[in-house]
Amino acid sequence: MPKRPPARIYHQDKASSASALFQTRTKRRIRREVYRLIRRERPTQALKYISAKGQDRRLKAAETDFLKSLIARSYYIEGKIASSLKLAQEATRSRTLVPMSDWHAGLAAWRLGKSELATEHFARLANTTTISARLRARASYWTARGLRKAGKISEAEPYFKTAAESGPYFYALLGMQQVIGQMQIDWQKATRRDATIFATHPVLRRAEALRAASQNELAELELLYLQERLSEPEARAMLAYAEENAYPAVQLAVAQRLGLQIKE
pLDDT in tens, 153-204: 999 999 999 998 887 677 777 787 787 765 555 545 545 555 555 566 677 7
User: What pLDDT does 7 receive?
Assistant: 43
The stretch 39-56 carries a mean pLDDT of 90
**57 — pLDDT class (breaks 50, 70, 90):** confident
Q: Assess contact for 136 and 165: CB atoms under 8 A.
A: no
Q: How far apart are CA 224 and CA 207, in angstroms?
A: 10
User: What pLDDT does 9 receive?
Assistant: 40
Q: Is 43 exposed, middle or buried (0-12, 13-18, 19+ CB in 10 A)?
A: buried
User: What pLDDT does 87 receive?
Assistant: 98
Q: In the predicted model, is pLDDT for residue 248 greater than 80?
A: no
Distance of CA 244 to the CA centre of its chain: 23
Residue 54, amino acid:
G
Distance of CA 264 to the CA centre of its chain: 25
Most confidently modeled range among 44-48, 55-59, 75-79, 131-135: 44-48
Q: How far apart are CA 174 and CA 137, in angstroms?
A: 9
User: What pLDDT does 18 receive?
Assistant: 54
Nearest to 83 by CA among 44, 129, 115, 51: 44
Q: In the predicted model, is pLDDT for residue 2 greater than 70?
A: no
User: What pLDDT does 72 receive?
Assistant: 96
Question: What SS3 state is found at 144?
Answer: helix
Own/partner pairs for 81-89, CB < 8 Å, 24+ apart? 81/108, 81/111, 81/112, 82/108, 82/112, 83/43, 84/108, 85/109, 85/112, 85/114, 87/47
Q: Using DSSP bridges, classify how beta strands 184-185 and 262-263 pair: parallel, antiparallel or unpaired.
A: antiparallel
Q: Assess contact for 175 and 162: CB atoms under 8 A.
A: yes
User: What pLDDT does 120 receive?
Assistant: 98
Q: In the predicted model, is pLDDT for residue 113 greater than 80?
A: yes
Phi-psi region of 108 (alpha: psi -120 to 50; beta: other; left: phi over 0): alpha
**100 — pLDDT class (breaks 50, 70, 90):** very high
Q: In the predicted model, is pLDDT for residue 218 greater than 60?
A: yes
- How does the average pLDDT of the chain come out, rounded? 82
User: What pLDDT does 203 receive?
Assistant: 78
User: What pLDDT does 97 receive?
Assistant: 93
Nearest to 135 by CA among 165, 105, 169, 111: 169
**144 — pLDDT class (breaks 50, 70, 90):** very high
89 vs 236: which has the higher pLDDT: 89
